[in-house]
Chain A
Amino acid sequence: MHNVVTRSKDVTLLEILDRVLEKGVVISGDVVISVADVDLIYLGLKVLLSSVETMEKYRGAPITGPMQEPT
């Protein structure tokens, strides 16, 4: 299936946060996350990402695979 091949091997945390925190249906449930809380995350994200990246360097994990159809 093309899906498996095309998707970046490690979808980054950023990709996930960019959707999970900002998109999706917004309903005011009984508890509310404030916008300030979300901003805090973006502020701190760089620190976290750098440490994740460092770990990946040590493991030698590739960032993304080439996009090719299987033969």
Chain B
Amino acid sequence: MTENQLVYLYCITNEEPMLKNVEDLVEGLYFVHHKSLYAVVRNVGESEFGQEGLKRNMADLEWVKTNATLHERLIEQVMANADVIPFKFGTLFNTDDSLKAMLEEYGEEFKAILRKLENKEEWGIKIYCDTEKLKASTINDDPEILKIENQISSSPPGKAFFLEKKKAELLAQSTNARINESGQESFELLKELSFEARINKLLPREVTDRDDEMVLNSAFLVGKEEVGDFINMVDTLKMHHENKGFFIDCTGPWPPYNFCGLSNQKVQNA
């Protein structure tokens, strides 16, 4: 007996996807056409992607890595020739017909999202901060701190001790303020060059596995015509900030994961 198959949905486009480009990545890809929408899908086994199988496999990081990377690469390839609505990892249907029923239900919304996304790309900006390095640069150009340093050098030990404590406090405040200013300024400047912008939750160091701290996690929907300006602005921001302990990580173009939310939020909890 052959195993029961499920339908894994990667993305939706409004023109016939060129699957020749993506067939190298994985076997068994096809598209489901419903009205003017095309869903790029693949048949997957129920033992691997069914409720039980998924639960087991999501705990297997090598499996997650392989399949999440495939999910991303595949959508990127389709995106090379068409605007796409990317779906979340592991969106699965029992049959082509149940997928079609979903396309019927949300078709108009998907079309509206695709119109919004036309000729635009998602770019990601993550800013990290090496706090010690930023502190070192702050000490040298914060007038308040320089003043207190002068007082310390001309004070007796007892008073100097308290002034040192005050200096540490000031330094921490000033450093925090600079992190906020730099993050906000960078975000606002890039937002001006974008159609939409999002701030996402910061990822802790345990997850990023970097020595510096993430201070901004953001995404921008940029017109293809404006991408050059956007990149130039990123370069300018790097020039201004990177010598002070900031690191600006710019990635893209991404499938527009951050900019294709359905207006009807109840589907998320259905």
Binding site for B on A (CB under 8 A): 2-3, 6-8, 11, 13-34, 37-38, 40-42, 44-50, 53, 64, 67
Q: Which of B9, B12, B217, B255 is the one whose CB lies under 8 Å from A29?
A: B9
Q: Which residues of B contact A37 (CB under 8 A)?
A: 54-55, 58-59
Residues of B within 8 A of A (CB): 6, 9, 12, 49-51, 54-55, 58-59, 61-62, 64-65, 68-69, 71-72, 85-94, 98, 102, 106, 124, 200, 203, 206-209, 217, 227-228, 231, 234-235, 238, 249-255, 257-258, 260-262, 267-268, 270
Q: Give Cα A70–Cα B27 distance, bound, in whole angstroms.
A: 36
The answer to whether A21 touches B228 (Cβ under 8 A) is no
Q: Which residues of A contact B64 (CB under 8 A)?
A: 17, 41
Q: CB distance B68 to A21 under 8 Å?
A: yes
5 contacts between A and B (CB under 8 A): A14-B203, A14-B207, A15-B124, A25-B12, A47-B61
A67 near B250 with CB under 8 A, answer yes
Bound together, the chains give a CA A47 to CA B64 distance in angstroms of 13
Q: Which A residues are in CB contact (< 8 Å) with B238?
A: 67
Shortest distance between the CB of B36 and any CB in chain A (Å): 17
Q: Which of B59, B65, B87 contacts A13 (CB 8 A)?
A: B65
CB–CB B106/A27 < 8 A: yes
User: Does more than half of chain A's interface fall in helix, strand or loop, or is it mixed?
Assistant: helix
Assuming A30-B6, A32-B51, A33-B90, is B257 touching A19 (CB within 8 A)?
yes
The chain B residue with its CB closest to the CB of A38 is: B58
B97 to chain A, nearest CB (A): 11
Given A6-B250, A25-B262, is A41 in contact with B61 using a C-beta cutoff of 8 Å? yes
CB within 8 Å for A23 and B54 given contacts A30-B92, A46-B206, A48-B61: no
Are the C-beta atoms of B58 and A28 separated by less than 8 Å?
no
Which residues of B lie under 8 Å from residue A47 when comparing CB positions? 61
User: Which among A28, A53, A64 is the interface contact of B249 at CB below 8 angstroms?
Assistant: A64
Closest to B217 in A: A18
Report yes or no: B88 in contact with A24, Cβ–Cβ below 8 A.
Answer: yes
Say whether B68 contacts A24, CB under 8 Å: no
